[in-house]
Amino acid sequence: MTKKLKRMATLALAAALLQPHLAAADERLKAIREKWIPGTPMLTEFLPLYPCHSEELPCGQLPPPAVQKVSFKGALKGDAKRGEKIALDVRWGNCATCHSLPGHKGGTVGPSLEDYASRAPSLEYTYQRIWDTRVFNPDAHMPLFGTNSVLTEDEILDVMVFIHQR
């Protein structure tokens, strides 16, 4: 077996073993999100959910999470105003750091999203791009909003409604 295959098998085993822990982390995240208001200082109990706050592994020594391929289901429903707030808030989505957004000049690290709706990208593409962009580009610098539970599914949908509005 090649090194690459051994590594992939090891990662698959690790992912299977971590699944119960990930489910518990999702429940913890839901409970914390009910108490924390984005844009306010983070609660100390929220910090352990971030990799660099692991007490078991030093920062920078944690392996990246497995790439998550997801599917968009149903019609696009959400709150454009809330999506705008999420995209502009530096402690929430923080999209404007790298992208210009509809009605807002922003960073230039990522492509401009000012005219995103007129480009008519599929909802499937947009959802995957926000959830885990590594499906399209393994070396992308965009945060893993869904994979790392930075944004909930509803928050991602709100951002999608905001950038897809004309």
| Predicted confidence (pLDDT) at residue 98 exceeds the cutoff of 60 | yes
Q: Diameter of the chain by CA atoms?
A: 53
Q: 80-164 adopts what CATH topology?
A: Cytochrome Bc1 Complex; Chain D, domain 2 (1.10.760)
Coil, helix or strand at residue 104: strand
| Predicted confidence (pLDDT) at residue 54 exceeds the cutoff of 60 | no
Chain segment 102-128, per-residue pLDDT in tens: 999 999 999 999 999 999 999 999 999
Give domain limits for the chain.
3-35, 80-164
- Average pLDDT taken over every residue of the chain: 82
Ranking 42-51, 88-97, 122-131 by mean pLDDT, the lowest is: 42-51
Coil, helix or strand at residue 110: coil
- Categorize the per-residue pLDDT at 77 as very low, low, confident or very high, splitting at 50, 70 and 90: very high
pLDDT at 123: 95
